[in-house]
Structure 1
Amino acid sequence: METGAETGMETGAETGAETGAEAGAGVLHSLRVSFFAMARLSSLPWTGLRERLDDDRSPTLVADVLRQTCLHPLCRKHPPAVAYRRLFLTKLIKMLEDTQSESLDEAYDALGEVLGAPGGAECYKTYFLPGGERATLLESVSLISEGTTGLVTWEAALYLAEWALDHRQVFTGRTVLELGSGVGLAGIAVCRCCRPSRFRFSDHHPAVLKKLRQNVQINRLAEETAGGVSVEELDWTAVSEERLREIGADVVIAADVVYDPDVVAALVPLLSMILRRYSTEGPAPQVLISSTVRNPDTYNSFKQQLETEGIRHEVVTGAVSHVFPYNRVDAIELIQLYI
């Protein structure tokens, strides 16, 4: 006969095993997400992994770690930077040595493969989206390349994408224009998850436009949205009201475009034109600007110039879901503009 105490002990053991399995799966998931986004190595879940290695020194665990990262099929097709993979494996191997793991051969083989791989000026970052979707971006390995900062993903774009994923109704069935799209993370997330009727990526720098078109193709956006996605050159100092009317945006977004006084001087008149183009035709578009506040003087000057143009702003508050791994220490502000 089964006693209550025995039943409770068995249930507790089963629950503990399930909890441990879930925790282990969580560590591997977090490791994969961070690895493919090339998050700072120090931010990866090393402590949780070390605890798992202390509890489980079987070859299966090490194989699982490698299959979720360097040996994942995605790493073959769209690999993170060689230098990043080398540093990741070096740290992993040091941890395996410290835990006296006997499962080092596969890790050493993976490191040998990376050491023999040629470096390059470009790499891939992949961001995993809700519902099993993902956004893969071809980026520069340098923060500044070809005279522009537009060839990498910046934190304000990641924040804007997270906000969009929490507020999908803002974009569903609407025509969206993104200013200064860069490599395209925010726009790809909106296209993948928010179902806009049309999405217009835009930028002006030739190298950025080339990379943007590549990323739209990598993510197969044009194919999967029946022509509702396009990449367009948009010179903020020369665009006409007629051109904006042709685009016909219901929603306008931009991320990390307020970083230089000269850029701000071109941006504010454009925003004024966008907000006023419907003055006699209907409601103005919804305009959202996401910014990392690196230089308070530049950012405050942007707001003052908006006010001079008769444009009001409201800070969009409220927490967003943490979907992507990135540095959340710097202040990021999302504002909505009105006339």
Structure 2
Amino acid sequence: MAPEEIAEAESVLQSFERRFLAARTLRSFPWQSLEEKLRDSSGPELLLNILQKTVKHPLCVKHPPSVKYVRCFLSELIRKHEAVHMEPLDELYEALAEVLMAEEPTQCHRSYLLSCHFEKVRWMESHNVCPSEIGFLCAALTPLRPIQPSGDSVTLSESTAIVSHGTTGLVTWDAALYLAEWAIENPAAFAHRTVLELGSGAGLTGLAICKTCCPSTYVFSDCHSCVLEQLRGNILLNGLSLEPDTTDPERHPGHNAHDTESPRVTVAQLDWDVVTAPELAAFRPDVIIAADVLYCPETVMSLVRVLQRLSACLKDQQAPEAYIAFTVRSPETCWLFTNELGQTGIPWEAVPHHNQKLFPYEEHLDMAILKLIL
């Protein structure tokens, strides 16, 4: 196989792996590229590799996605194969038979890889590697540890329903992925600092930061009890130690302040409408982040009020930075947010779009990150 063909096949394989582990919609998969590859003599081999990188992936076996999702994926994979090849692949039918017998749980898993095949491509391009050699080198370097970033993966247990227990915080939204990518590309913004996340939801952004950006302390927060319960579970699921719920970091002498490899992690119940300035001041954050919390005027006003309280109660320390990521669904909502920031005297600027592309999400969405100085 020519180097260009190797690179193309590797790209298709990586796309299937990342989208499947994250349980993205099936229509987002590169099916057309797969169909073109299936017409080659190496088509069946590519299908078997896809099976190993998806349904048979160690992360999937240990933390499976929705049974319905796996069933639909395998059915589509079989249809694509049958449309080109007369000879069936027993491995595909055996995998489908297994999932047909499985029961659907109320919780499923999504996994996000924190290292990327395309990091190798960018590294080789920056070192003037000939384009015709990139495909060959990518295949040869696959067993090697990725150059950036240092983490491995984040796995989340999520509800199979978008709205569950009266909240949307039990699933991961695209702006959380977008903010996590930016953080991984800009670790200095979080290294050795105390980070307070507002509206953590399922925890993807915070877990990615904890694994790749070396914060000294990370405070996840949300207001819904079911979200907090799931959030604690996801933190433990990803191998992080969880300290008791508190707003005072000094009350836990058991924490090793010299352990720079693992941040001190806490979860706090935080209702933006009732939290007091002293309670916020006790966190003493250096950085504040939030993702996908600007979905209606009511939450915009609540967020601005809590940011204003944080700004007022942290006058005795260096002004913290805040990074607010959101999907631009309504220009009116975005205008309301920036206008209210201006009314309260909180300066802001738009963060340039980043180059990191680790996570699969809808690329046509208009997403933004605002940097605020409190």
Structure 2 counterpart of 1:212: 231
Asked if the contact 2:284/2:314 (under 8 Å) is kept, the reply is no
CA RMSD in angstroms comes to 1.9
1:143 to 149, 155, 162: 162
CA distance in 2, matches of 1:29, 1:135: 17
Q: Taking every aligned residue pair, what percent have the same amino acid on both sides?
A: 43
CA distance in 2, matches of 1:197, 1:299: 32
Structure 2 counterpart of 1:22: 7
2:349 to 301, 304, 314: 314
Structure 2 counterpart of 1:72: 57
1:310 shift after superposition: 1.6
Asked if the contact 2:151/2:211 (under 8 Å) is kept, the reply is no
2:105 to 115, 120, 123: 120
CA distance in 2, matches of 1:102, 1:29: 25
SS at match of 2:241: helix
Q: Which has the larger radius of gyration?
A: 1
CA offsets per residue over residues 182-222 of structure 1, 9 Å max, x none? 00111011001001011000001001001100100110122
1:173 shift after superposition: 0.7
Asked if the contact 2:37/2:43 (under 8 Å) is kept, the reply is no
Asked if the contact 2:353/2:368 (under 8 Å) is kept, the reply is no
1:337 shift after superposition: 1.4
2:365 to 311, 320, 330: 330
Structure 1 counterpart of 2:319: 284
Letter matched to residue 332 of structure 1: M
The more displaced of 248-257 and 235-244 is: 235-244
CA distance in 2, matches of 1:297, 1:22: 43
Structure 1 counterpart of 2:200: 181
1:116 shift after superposition: 1.4
Which runs of 5 or more structure 2 residues have no equivalent in the other structure? 116-149, 243-258
CA offsets per residue over residues 275-317 of structure 1, 9 Å max, x none? 23232x1321101101112122222222222222122221112
- From the superposition, tell whether residues 117 and 316 of structure 1 become closer, same or farther in structure 2 (CA, over 3 Å): same
CA distance in 1, matches of 2:224, 2:203: 14
- From the superposition, tell whether residues 114 and 97 of structure 1 become closer, same or farther in structure 2 (CA, over 3 Å): same
Structure 1 counterpart of 2:81: 96
1:59 shift after superposition: 5.2
Structure 2 counterpart of 1:9: none
CA offsets per residue over residues 218-256 of structure 1, 9 Å max, x none? 101227965601111112122222222221110000001
1:272 to 308, 314, 321: 308
SS at match of 2:289: strand
The more displaced of 109-118 and 209-218 is: 109-118
Asked if the contact 2:288/2:323 (under 8 Å) is kept, the reply is yes
Task: Give TM-score, length-normalised by structure 2.
Answer: 0.82
Task: Figure out how many residues of one structure are paired with residues of the other and give that number.
Answer: 323
SS at match of 2:322: strand
Q: Summarize the alignment of residues 209-288 of structure 1 with structure 2, pairs less than 5 Å apart.
A: 209-222=228-241, 226=262, 228-279=264-315, 281-288=316-323
CA offsets per residue over residues 94-142 of structure 1, 9 Å max, x none? 1110111524221111111112111132210001102451010111121
CA offsets per residue over residues 250-282 of structure 1, 9 Å max, x none? 000000111122222221111011123232x13
